[in-house]
């Protein structure tokens, strides 16, 4: 311990503490607006593009760019990005073989890796500077009508005509909310409200890019694909008889008990969709909120450990989603009849 508390280390610790304290006092940032639905980032005519859709496209492009850069100059002795990607893919290739077995792993591996890489990249984009922090500034009244937001912030003009929000909150009063509700009920909100100037002086940031997996639609779509493909794999392996496990599977030999078991199997398939969806969405959305809050409280140094934590969480959630899909596909290829004969 004495070696740690040297003069140099003590000075570094004091500087870090001083910077952290000063940032908490003088470098205050507004808390980003936390809403569950994806926000409308761009408008083309009557068609809106959400910020999570933009993030999904960016994640897809990122994967394509990585694939191009890793394979454009293939060498027998890999190095750099090619070496990293080959190690990454080979690790999970062997992992798939151990779990799914030699009979099926080559069919399951592309599905596993597609889910793993897409969800991983989509999750990690949450940590890129500018995501959730660069966008268009809209009046609080618009945010209230579209997402029920009641708290906004003052805005400030920077050099070059750029606007930013400052940590001075503005709340809609009950009377103002009642007036906006009345306008909405009369169908006047789209035409009457100014999309640039707030009558109450409050504004919110609508980011151009928001992590794709913080939109419930993306985890739900992935869950539906996972469960649907599991049924396809089951039919390919066992034929139409695969669906027998949802009705009267030959598990106990007792018709009533087998009927109950089949019903539970059917319920479990739908439960997988809910489990997949909310596990991924809940963890990534909660991580984003955690980063928002920590940056709002202390903008400098303190949030860094939480960024490291989210790197780990982003990987684990992608891995869990992919590995559960692999396990369910493997289980779908096993015939209950064969299990019964084995016992």
Q: How far apart are CA 182 and CA 254, in angstroms?
A: 62
Over range 228-252, report the average pLDDT. Answer: 80
Whole-angstrom CA distances from 63 to 70, 152, 319 are: 11, 36, 16
Q: What token pair was written down for 102? A: 């030699």
Contact 96, 105 (CB under 8 A): yes
Please give the mean pLDDT across all residues of the chain: 84
- Across residues 37-51, what is the average pLDDT? 87
Q: What is the pLDDT of residue 20?
A: 66
Rounded mean pLDDT, 216-241: 91
Cα(68)–Cα(39) distance, integer angstroms: 32
**For 198-206, what is the mean pLDDT?**
88
Per-residue pLDDT of 17-28, as tens digits, reads 676 666 556 666
Query: What pLDDT was estimated at residue 133?
Result: 86
- Give the side-chain half-sphere CA count within 13 A for 28: 9
Q: Residue 33 burial (CB < 10 Å; 0-12/13-18/19+)? A: buried
Is the per-residue pLDDT at 207 higher than 60?
Answer: yes
Interatomic CA distance for residues 31 and 165, integer angstroms? 10
Residue 342 — pLDDT band, cuts 50, 70, 90?
A: very low
Q: Which of 142, 186, 146, 137 is nearest to 164 (CA)?
A: 137
Q: Could you count the other beta carbons within 10 Å of the beta carbon of residue 26?
A: 8
Token pair belonging to 329: 């596909």
CA distance 62 to 72: 15
**Position 124 confidence tier, pLDDT thresholds 50, 70, 90:** very high
User: Rg of the chain's alpha carbons, rounded to an integer?
Assistant: 26
On whether the pTM is more than 0.95, the answer is no
Q: Is the pLDDT of residue 51 over 70?
A: yes
Q: Encode pLDDT of 137-185 as tens digits.
A: 889 888 888 888 888 889 888 888 888 888 888 898 888 888 888 887 7
Q: According to the model, what pLDDT value does residue 24 have?
A: 58
In the predicted model, is pLDDT for residue 279 greater than 90?
yes
Please report which confidence band the pLDDT of residue 72 belongs to, taking 50, 70 and 90 as the band edges: confident
Sign of CA dihedral 225, 110, 59, 48: negative
The whole-angstrom separation of Cα 318 and Cα 174 is 43
């Amino acid at each position: 311990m004495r070696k740690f508390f040297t003069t140099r280390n003590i000075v570094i610790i004091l500087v870090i503490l001083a910077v952290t304290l000063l940032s908490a006092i003088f470098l205050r940032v507004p808390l980003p607006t936390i809403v569950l639905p994806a926000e409308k980032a761009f408008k083309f005519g009557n068609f809106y593009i959400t910020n999570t859709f933009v993030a999904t496209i960016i994640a897809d492009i990122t994967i394509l760019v990585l694939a191009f850069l890793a394979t454009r100059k293939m060498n027998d002795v890999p190095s750099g990005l090619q070496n990293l990607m080959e190690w990454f893919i080979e690790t999970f290739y062997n992992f798939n073989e151990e779990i799914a077995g030699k009979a099926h792993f080559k069919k399951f591996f592309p599905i596993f890796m597609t889910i793993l890489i897409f969800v991983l990249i989509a999750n990690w984009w949450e940590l890129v500077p500018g995501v959730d922090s660069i966008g268009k500034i809209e009046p609080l009244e618009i945010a209230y009508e579209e997402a029920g937001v009641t708290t906004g912030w003052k805005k400030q003009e920077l050099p070059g005509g750029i606007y930013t929000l400052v940590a001075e909150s503005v709340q809609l009063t009950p009377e103002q909310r009642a007036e906006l509700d009345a306008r909405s009920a009369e169908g006047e909100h789209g035409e009457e409200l100014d999309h640039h100037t707030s009558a109450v002086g409050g504004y919110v940031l609508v980011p151009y890019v928001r992590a794709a997996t913080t939109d419930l639609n993306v985890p739900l779509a992935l869950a539906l694909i996972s469960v649907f493909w599991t049924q396809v794999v089951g039919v390919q392996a066992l034929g139409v008889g695969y669906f027998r496990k949802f009705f009267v599977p030959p598990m106990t030999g007792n018709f009533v008990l087998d009927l109950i078991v089949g019903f539970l199997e059917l319920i479990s398939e739908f439960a997988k969709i809910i489990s997949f969806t909310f596990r991924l969405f809940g963890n990534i959305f909660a991580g984003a909120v955690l980063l928002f809050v920590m940056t709002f409280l202390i903008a400098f140094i303190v949030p860094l450990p939480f960024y490291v934590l989210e790197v780990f969480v982003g990987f684990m959630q992608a891995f869990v989603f992919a590995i559960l899909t692999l396990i369910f596909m493997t289980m779908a290829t096993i015939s209950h009849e064969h299990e019964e004969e084995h016992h």
